[in-house]
Structure 1
Amino acid sequence: MTHQPGALPGATATHPVLRVPPAAPAEAVAHFGASLAFHTDVSDIAAALDAGTDPGFVLLDSRSTESWEQGHIPGAVHLPTALVAERAPRLLDPAVPVVTYCWGPGCNGAARAALALAGLGYQVKEMLGGFEYWAREGFAYETRQGGERRAADPLTAPAGADACGC
């Protein structure tokens, strides 16, 4: 076995995973710490909302009215991204952090809403997974017809458990 150019010392072959070496631990701490300052996930939001106390943030659905009516997280504030600049000062307290969500991982509407809110001076995070993963993890949601809840998708949440354990 020979050492391949560009491989880590001691590695026997270059492959895509380690072709670019991992960051130094201090750089990883800075990166992942910064990521958590900008993002949260549906399980953490559900736990905060279910705690029975003020979660300390406002959950904001940045989708269209049609999307909101199709399904949204109970307790969320509806404020489409295009209306953030106009309506946020009337709907949101600048002293309370805002967590934005949109459809799902394939949509950047929550990031656009977060950017607009940050530009107005709000502290903001984005909920990873959006409404799609909220529903896929089996959390209750509201529609124009009333409340709904689907069984958790075992690919997104452990079957028969309340939390993923991560």
Structure 2
Amino acid sequence: MPPASTPFSFVLETPAAPPEEARRHFLAKLSVETDSADLHLDLERGKPGIVVVDVRSPEAYAERHIPGALSLPARTISESSTAHLDKQDVLITYCWSPGCNGSTKAAARLAALGFRVKELIGGIEYWVKEGHPTQGTAPQGQAVYPERPTR
């Protein structure tokens, strides 16, 4: 027997935004985020102007990181620690997973220093889940379940 019909909707309790407002929102979101599939394809194709930045601890970076990523722990980001980076490049920050905001904090710090930046949604966890290659001491394809993320 189907559930009783009711005029109330949890989804529609807050009305959807008008199409142009929704378009602006989603374009703004895409301007500060990227996903593993898009990043992997651009890296595989050698797309210039993209620099991947691992903002976790040096120990986490040594264990596993995206090939070619720079190690720049979030709390060390400053004018001096970023002096070697080109402000014309787009920096892609990542940390552990969707539950970690280290890449968000790092992206904010980098933007404050004048860098163009996007955050890799899902972090290294989703990079591995999607089967993309990594470098470091951890075996390829091994799940990413850190005991305690350090930054």
Same fold (TM over 0.5): yes
DSSP 3-state at the match of 1:43? helix
Question: Can you give the 5+ residue segments of structure 1 that lack an aligned partner in the other structure?
Answer: 1-10, 153-166
The aligned residue for residue 59 of structure 2 is 66
* Structure 2 residue 107 is matched with structure 1 residue 117: no
Tell me, yes or no, if structure 1 residue 130 matches structure 2 residue 123: yes
Query: Could you say what secondary structure the match of 1:60 adopts?
Result: strand
Q: By how many angstroms is 1:35 displaced?
A: 0.3
Q: Which has the higher helix share?
A: 1
The equivalences for 1:6-155 within 5 A come to 13-51=7-45, 53-85=46-78, 86-90=80-84, 92-144=85-137, 148-150=139-141
Aligned-residue Cα RMSD (Å) equals 1.8
CA distance in 2, matches of 1:151, 1:44: 22
Percent of matched pairs sharing the same residue:
42
Letter in 2 for 1:97: V
In 2, Cα distance between equivalents of 1:66 and 1:22: 45
TM superposition shift of 1:109: 0.5
Alignment partner of 2:52: what SS? strand
* 2: CA distance, partners of 1:55 / 1:74: 15
Take 2:39 and 2:96, find their aligned partners in 1: how far apart are those partners? 15
* Residue-by-residue CA offset, 1:131-161 (whole Å, 9 max, x unaligned): 000001111101136xx43289xxxxxxxxx
Instruction: Name the CA distance, whole Å, in 2 between partners of 1:151 and 1:25.
Output: 42
Counterpart Cα distance in 2 of 1:54 and 1:21: 40
SS at match of 1:32: helix
Answer whether contact 2:51 2:89 (CA < 8 A) is retained: yes
Determine if contact 2:49/2:88 at 8 Å carries over to the other structure: no
Kindly indicate whether the alpha-carbon contact (under 8 Å) linking 2:52 and 2:93 is maintained by their aligned counterparts in 1. Answer: yes
Residues 138 and 151, structure 1, Cα contact 8 Å, conserved in 2: no
- Structure with higher RCO (Cα < 8 A, 6+ apart): 2
The one-letter code matched in structure 2 to 1:120 is L
Are the equivalent residues in 2 in contact too, given 1:137–1:151 (CA < 8 A)? no
Work out the CA distance in 1 between the residues paired with 2:141 and 2:137.
16
